[in-house]
A and B are shown apart, each in its own frame.
Chain A
Amino acid sequence: MTGSITALGLALAAIGAGIGIGQIGGRAMDAIARQPEAVGDIRANMILTAALVEGAALIAMVLSFIL
């Protein structure tokens, strides 16, 4: 087995971000099903929140490259 422990950390961060973005997407679908007329607002906010969660995974990625 070769590799670095930082890759493991990155993988954990990616799992966390994946769960988070999955929750955001799922809840947004629920909300759209409940209120189809609000689809525009929900979509914009969904992408915004998903982008913020993604930021955590990106920072983990950079740290794994640097360390």
Chain B
Amino acid sequence: MTKATPLLLIEGLTKAYPGVVANKDVSFSIGAGKVHALLGENGAGKSTLVKTIYGLVRPDAGSMRLHGEPYAPADPNAARAAGVAMVFQHFSLFDALDVAENIALGMQDPPPRSTLAAKIREVSQTYGLPLDPGRTVGDLSAGERQRVEIIRCLLQAPKLLIMDEPTSVLTPQEVEILFRTLRKLASEGTAILYISHKLEEIRGLCDSATVLRLGEVVDTCTPSEVSARDLAEMMVGQTLITPTRVGGTDGAVVLEVTGLSLPASTNFGTSLKEIGFQVRAGEVLGIGGVAGNGQDELLAVLSGETVTDADTVRMNSQPIGAMGPVERRRLGVLAAPEERLGHAAAPDLSLTENAMLTGAQRRGLTRNGFLNWTKARAFATEIIEAFDVRTPGPGHVARSLSGGNLQKFVIGREILQDPQVLVVNQPTWGVDASAAAAIRQALLDLATKGAAIIVISQDLDELMEISDTFAALNEGRLSSPRPAAGLSVEDIGLMLGGAHDLEVGHGAA
């Protein structure tokens, strides 16, 4: 590929919104058949930039060229006609419609249904993305839903494919399938613009990278030639501090689970089988495994959303298995579930109200049954300051925060309640590198203060970084916990029930 005529050339793009400059004089280029990464923290302006390329946003200044021709799409239809396709992070599928209907909606001039179904089958086989055109999208898994979007794009034979954080909702196996597809596409000459927080993925997949910070291009590099740490520091603009602590597993046993078996509550749930473990004061227990293997169910048992026999869960030898979340919270067992909007936080309530919801008891935010809003607001403000939550103030609704910021708020809210036991599921899911480091550090600091912490995560790198002991959850069974220090990738693979089930650490840095 010659560098002379890049497929897409962007020069001096600027877009300002009231109060923020989302993109400021952004320039870069992508060659045909290349995979180009766009890196940056939450709010660095990546989404605005790709929306501009896809015709959803009109730039204030600057120009784009596609195949050397001036390119200024008025709307997504124009962008698609020019050969630009985009796979969205979310918001682009219709749950009640079936796969073929969803795909037809994203096409300029869809063929009749029977032809389209045949075409979908053909493309899905060519690229190794199995998909049944007749299924209702609402019933599909996250990985399958993404396949719908990708196939929708592929059917139009795009010249440029934009992918906005495609792997944040995928299991490691699904990520591997996706990468094979992307490499095949690139080898056929399609340029790919790839946005992700996951630096190891970018190092393994991308040919070049442009780093954005606060709307400006701050650096460009070849990802395979620099370390993930370097990439993270380019994004953040400062030296990253690896979370550190003095580990300890010699405290008293705080939480003990014995013989936990629980049938699945729904058709889509996982039943838990004979789970048993102990967590000591000051210990961080990391529970790894692919999502959907009982993580949500285990968190529900620990937080009290699902009650069991009293003796199944014990805290300081006291049976608490039959207690609900409120009683457990009073004792100091707190939890932060994975789903931020709707489970960990009420989307349309303000941050103050959300702080009140779990903090009322332990922070004494009520008095004689009346809510003390002054105190709740102070508590919310404290969380916002301590965890660097970026929001105009505690009066704003949870929904208005970006995923990473809300995650900081949710985790911070529990940590500041001074728990004795804290259970978190996917604490840094969708959170950028510096915020993730801050959350991990806060968890470690809490452990140093003597709390027992259980971290459930799909991110094995994260678990290796902060855990004292490690256990794997697979099809509702938990392996016996082992000290994390000195565990090799092979050990972990075996604990997860066979290394082929889970690809460990992409690119194995």
A and B physically associate: no
Q: Which residues of B are at the interface with A, using a C-beta cutoff of 8 A?
A: none
Q: Which residues of A are at the interface with B, using a C-beta cutoff of 8 A?
A: none
